[in-house]
Amino acid sequence: MANEIIQIKDLKVHYPIRSGFWNRITDYVRAVDGISISINEGETYGLIGESGSGKSTTGKAIVGVEPVTSGQIIYKGVDVTKSRNRKRLNYNKDVQMIFQDSMSSLNPRKRIEDIIAEPIRNFENLTTDQERDRVQELLDIVGMPSDAIYKYPHEFSGGQRQRIGVARAVATHPKLIVADEPTSALDLSVQAQVLNFMKHIQQQYDIAYLFISHDLGVVKHMSENLAIMHRGRLVELGSREAIYKHPIHIYTKRLLSAIPVVDVEHRAEHKKHRQQVEKEFQENQSKWYDQDGRVFPLQKVAPNHWVALPKERAQKEEEKVEESD
């Protein structure tokens, strides 16, 4: 049985809305509204949702970029929501992030050598030669030429900059990397290259990934377990096989229908299916959310499959899954 490396319990990130003469808080934007997931050592866990679903905010809260309103982030059995526990466990060294926009995440005024060396300098005390050797080793791992250390971010393509971002993320030998849409800005051919060397690095260093994306097709290539996020909550959670073979929530079906079909002969059929799913989503989505438009709590419908449903409907869905198996 795999060892759990991090557990997220009822995580909430709320932003206050202020109005009136006294600038008082009148409501909150519930960007993340109580999600719970756990990730094992060396695992790739997919977190999927469209723009505004709260998935990126979740990732930033895990690495400490966004403040947590409530809930727990338990790393190696210790609640690291409080900063003193993070420091005690060296959490900021063990948990790194790959950002979506490779250009804005790399300081344009610094050479690549300094960009990759920055996290090393924060946590290790190496000589200049040792540091350069480490940077060179990291560039070799991600397939970048040796003279890249003397160059600046604008001298590279989007795919190359993302490779540099990966090299920086693995510089401290992390145990978990939060990858926030790491390939969404890249061409399809470059996407495949980046994903493949991310897998290679994972196997080499036994790194766990929280892979955040809006693209279920990409996530299927990377992840063993998936969580579908909408309106700040999880609508479906389970193994890759369970989600792709037996999608239940209308929002999950909508995302799956958006995966492009390569086979020309089936494109017309796929387009028709996508239109039917979209029509069902628009006409019947009220059945999948409560009277305030919020996502229902997750209910278990199979050994490794949970769906946001009213309790009375969960048993019916469980029976359907059993029949289809």
Which pLDDT value is given to residue 308? 94
* End residue of a domain, out of 209, 230, 251: 230
Nearest residue to 254 (alpha-carbon basis) of 227, 233, 234, 273: 273
Give CA–CA dist 127/134, Å, rounded: 11
Is 223 in the same domain as 322? no
Number of structural domains found in the chain: 2
Is residue 168 one of the residues assigned to a domain?
yes
Is 113 a member of any domain?
yes
Phi and psi for 51 in degrees, rounded to 5? -60, 130
What residue type is 181 in one-letter code? E
In a domain, 155, yes or no: yes
Q: Which residues of the chain have pLDDT under 50?
A: 1
> Last residue of a domain, which of 194, 212, 230?
230
Sheet holding 298-302, edge to edge: 95-98, 176-180, 208-213, 44-48, 225-230, 233-239, 305-308, 298-302
> Are residue 198 and residue 280 in the same domain, yes or no?
no
Q: Is residue 235 part of a domain?
A: no
- State the Cα–Cα distance between residues 255 and 226, nearest whole angstrom: 13
Task: Give the pLDDT of residue 1.
Answer: 46
Domain that holds residue 159: 4-230
Q: Looking at the structure, do residues 244 and 225 belong to the same domain, yes or no?
A: no
- Residue 101 is predicted with a pLDDT of 76
Interhelix angle 267-284/250-257, rounded to 10 degrees, is 150
> Of 230, 260, 280, which marks where a domain is finished?
230
DSSP single-letter state for residue 174:
-
Question: Is residue 219 in some structural domain?
Answer: yes
Query: Do 224 and 316 lie in a common domain?
Result: no
According to DSSP, the residues that pair with 306 across neighbouring strands are 237, 300
Asked if residue 194 is part of any domain, the answer here is yes
Regarding whether 103 and 45 lie in a shared domain, the answer is yes
Q: Is 15 helix (H, G, I), strand (E, B) or coil?
A: strand
171 in the same domain as 278: no
**Residue 251 belongs to a domain:** yes
Would you state the pLDDT for residue 292?
85
Same domain, 146 and 246: no
Whole-number pLDDT of residue 227: 96
- Which CATH number characterizes residue 114's domain? 3.40.50.300
The answer to whether 254 and 230 have CB atoms below 8 angstroms apart is no
Token representation of residue 66? 């966004």
